[in-house]
Chain A
Amino acid sequence: MNQFLRKGALLAAMAGAGVLFAAPLLFMVLSSFKPEAAIFSGLAHWSSYVPSADWSFDHYRAIFDKSDLPGFLLNSTIVSACIVVGGILLNSMLAFALCRMRWRGRQAVLAFVVGLMIVPLEVIAIPLLSLVARLPWPGFENGTLVMHTGWFNSLHVQIIPFLANAFCVFLFYQFFKDIPPELDEAAKMDGAGPWTLFFRIILPNSGPVIATAAIVLFIAAWNQYLWPIMVVQGEMARPVQPGIQQFFGRSESWGQIMAYATVVTLPVLAVFLAFQRQFVASVAGAGIKG
């Protein structure tokens, strides 16, 4: 009986905290379906939390028809995809060189990469801004190659600075360290070079860490805010987070704002739910090792 009570109390505590935690996101999703006038009426009453006849997809239709959301979604998708694919490749290769290849200065480079993890974007954002303002980028005009100066208002300015990621290198390094060296030795005996070793043996055995890196990189890329508000002023290359911030500033319809927020949040939430287990493991690992 005592055990039963204890379980009941624990469950009640978990559910109570669950309600507090879910409330803002539930409020966001529910409001996106409600007519404008109903969003704020009777919030203290349970009936405002169950679907009723006046719920609709009107707000969603409105933001897809009238705002630039589709273009922003496309921009964020391209930026995130490039960062995930490129980031996994470059960071795992550096981790492989640090973990499995033998060269002088390896330890120093490893210490350097670990040290980079504590440099926050907020510290380097402003000098990085003046740096990318001066970088060249090739373009074609009338069939001839011309060099433009400045990376502003582009997709690549949102991608290239974030491909190399020290935390990601660290994740791969930790994982590669635990792959038994006998695997490499056997391959080397058969005459395999580092390329074969990496792409045929190490990477195919690294599924879990690739998933973890993909999630970490994707969420960071999709949720970028500080950097794009600094370097992307025009609408052509704008990603979703500055997009919703702008929409929040000028839209009168709170239902549409909530629909916008829901659309922007869904992809990350979906990725998180799909790869939950790897995610939990990676966060836990980062905490223990860090």
Chain B
Amino acid sequence: MSTLTMTEAGAALPAPPPQRGRKAGLDQDSLFAVAAFAGPALLLFAAFIVLPLLLALGATFTNHRLMSPEPTQFVGLENYRRLLSVDVVTVDALRGNAGAALRDEDGLRFPTWRQVRLAHPELAGYREAFHLRVGERRLVLAATDPQFYRSLINTFLFALLVLPLQCGSALGMALLVNQKIRGRIFFRTVYFAPVVTSMVVASIVWSIMLNTDRGLVNEVLRALSGDPNTGPDWLGDSLFALPAIAVMSAWQGMGFQMLVFLAGLQSIPHEQYEAAILMGANAWQRFVHVTLPGLRNTIVFVLVSTALLAFGLFTQVDVMTGGGPLDSTTTVVYHSVRTGFREQDIGYGSTIALVFFGLVLALSTLQRLVAAKGAAKGAAK
């Protein structure tokens, strides 16, 4: 049966072109020449991208440590168990003798995590990651690595903050510098300058600008509000630190998305705008019915590439906050580097890195699906 299929497939293939003397050289290059041209770069890809990926996958099943006297052991799924184990427990508020819930100045009083764990022996090794208050109860998300869940939430939160800010402003600025107006090249350069500034330098300059007492940002806030005491502790307050990093990151990266949008805008045929004007469309209608549909693929590309960068958030956190305050700026990549490199736990750090890669792959697949759907739609028209 299988031989038959093979013959059929073989018959379906076009016959190989006849070799004719010296002309054969045009059809196939010598293996030596191909190896000489393609070999070096392919070897480097294999050694420094493919091999590390495979090593990462392998390391997730071991307790491999950098510079450890003890031999590496196979630990099965232990790293994954440690990373992903979660449990949700309901904790009742503390009650007095009369049965009424106890309160203090912060509201309801709850038992400490130590007390909760003593009451639930199955929670040994678990720590509290988050809690949510429901009436006089608390829903507590407990995990063996609560920092991982916090970093996962922070990473998504950061992407949610940065995506609309960065992509929206980038589109706005692309529309601005797309106008036929003097000085647009100059402004395009100004908007793009932060992109070539290194993330480390940008983080340092912003750290100083965001200084609570003397920084530029709070000085401006004070001058505008007239209140000499205003101005939050941007990087030292767990409420403001992540949004501050998001604004700074959007500032640094926006110029790139602006250029991509600009190219997208310039590829929309001019006739479409002329036709819209003939039909009496105003500027807003032209934007909604000509510009946005024309930018469809560009928008998908910009959103996905910005999200990928946002998921990789590391440098800003490392320079500006070190993951704090209270883990409010710890991200997945930061957590991975902290355990894998600073604590030299290669196995566990690789496990976190692979979870991050899963996010990246999911996003890229999503982009492909959306692009393919768009292409199918275009073909159907």
Q: In the complex the two chains form, what is the Cα distance from A198 to B34 in whole Å?
A: 12
Contact of A245 among B196, B319, B364 (CB under 8 A): B319
* With A44-B220, A90-B41, A161-B48 as contacts: A18 and B191 at CB distance below 8 Å: yes
* With A97-B38, A193-B33 as contacts: A14 and B177 at CB distance below 8 Å: yes
> At the interface, yes or no: B194 with Cβ under 8 Å from chain A?
yes
Is the Cβ of A122 less than 8 Å from the Cβ of B333? yes
How distant is B381 from chain A, measured CB to nearest CB, in Å?
Answer: 21
> At the interface, yes or no: A7 with Cβ under 8 Å from chain B?
yes
> At the interface, yes or no: A129 with Cβ under 8 Å from chain B?
yes
Is the Cβ of A268 less than 8 Å from the Cβ of B263? no
Is the Cβ of B298 less than 8 Å from the Cβ of A288? yes
Chain A residues with Cβ below 8 Å from B161 are none
Is the Cβ of A120 less than 8 Å from the Cβ of B38? no
Chain A residues with Cβ below 8 Å from B256 are 283
Chain B residues with Cβ below 8 Å from A226 are 314-315, 337
> At the interface, yes or no: A287 with Cβ under 8 Å from chain B?
yes
Contact of B353 among A123, A130, A269 (CB under 8 A): A123
A17-41: CB near B (< 8 Å → 1, else 0) gives 1101111110110010000000010
Q: In the complex the two chains form, what is the Cα distance from A102 to B317 in whole Å?
A: 47
Is the Cβ of B37 less than 8 Å from the Cβ of A287? no
Q: In the complex the two chains form, what is the Cα distance from A21 to B248 in whole Å?
A: 11
Is the Cβ of B40 less than 8 Å from the Cβ of A93? yes
> At the interface, yes or no: B88 with Cβ under 8 Å from chain A?
no
Q: Is the interface of A mostly helix, strand, loop or mixed?
A: helix
Q: Which of A22, A120, A126, A283 has the most CB of B within 10 A?
A: A126
Q: In the complex the two chains form, what is the Cα distance from A129 to B349 in whole Å?
A: 11
Interface residues of A in 88-128 (CB under 8 A from B): 90-91, 93-94, 96-98, 101-103, 109, 113, 116, 118-120, 122-128
> At the interface, yes or no: A183 with Cβ under 8 Å from chain B?
no
> At the interface, yes or no: B163 with Cβ under 8 Å from chain A?
no
Interface size on A, residues (CB 8 A): 91
Is the Cβ of B196 less than 8 Å from the Cβ of A268? yes
> At the interface, yes or no: A80 with Cβ under 8 Å from chain B?
no
Interface residues of B in 196-253 (CB under 8 A from A): 196-202, 204-209, 214-216, 219-220, 222-223, 251
Q: Which residue of B lies closest to A283 (CB)?
A: B259
Is the Cβ of B38 less than 8 Å from the Cβ of A21? no
Is the Cβ of B198 less than 8 Å from the Cβ of A130? no
* With A7-B181, A230-B341 as contacts: A127 and B193 at CB distance below 8 Å: no
Q: Which residue of B lies closest to A242 (CB)?
A: B200
Is the Cβ of A18 less than 8 Å from the Cβ of B42? no
- Interface size class, chain B: 35 or more
Is the Cβ of A264 less than 8 Å from the Cβ of B259? no
Chain A residues with Cβ below 8 Å from B222 are 44
> At the interface, yes or no: B336 with Cβ under 8 Å from chain A?
yes
> At the interface, yes or no: A175 with Cβ under 8 Å from chain B?
no
Q: Which of A17, A93, A229, A287 has the most CB of B within 10 A?
A: A287
> At the interface, yes or no: A133 with Cβ under 8 Å from chain B?
yes
Is the Cβ of B205 less than 8 Å from the Cβ of A25? yes
Interface residues of A in 176-231 (CB under 8 A from B): 188, 193-195, 198, 219, 222-223, 225-226, 229-230
Q: Which residue of A lies closest to B46 (CB)?
A: A164
Q: In the complex the two chains form, what is the Cα distance from A126 to B37 in whole Å?
A: 30
* With A93-B41, A223-B199, A280-B188 as contacts: A126 and B34 at CB distance below 8 Å: no
> At the interface, yes or no: B83 with Cβ under 8 Å from chain A?
no
Q: In the complex the two chains form, what is the Cα distance from A166 to B53 in whole Å?
A: 15
Contact of A94 among B42, B200, B340 (CB under 8 A): B42
Q: In the complex the two chains form, what is the Cα distance from A198 to B29 in whole Å?
A: 13
Chain B residues with Cβ below 8 Å from A94 are 37-38, 40-42
Binding site for A on B (CB under 8 A): 25-29, 31, 33-34, 36-38, 40-42, 44-45, 48-49, 51-53, 55-56, 59, 64, 66-67, 173, 176-177, 179, 181, 183-184, 187-194, 196-202, 204-209, 214-216, 219-220, 222-223, 251, 255-256, 259-264, 267, 298, 301-302, 305, 308, 312, 314-315, 318-319, 333, 336-337, 340-341, 346, 349-350, 353-354, 356-357, 360-361, 364
9 A-B residue pairs with CB within 8 Å: A44-B223, A94-B41, A122-B314, A124-B53, A130-B55, A131-B48, A223-B198, A264-B198, A284-B263
**Nearest 10 A-B pairs (CB), nearest first?**
A284-B263, A287-B260, A164-B44, A44-B223, A126-B340, A223-B198, A97-B38, A124-B52, A94-B41, A97-B37
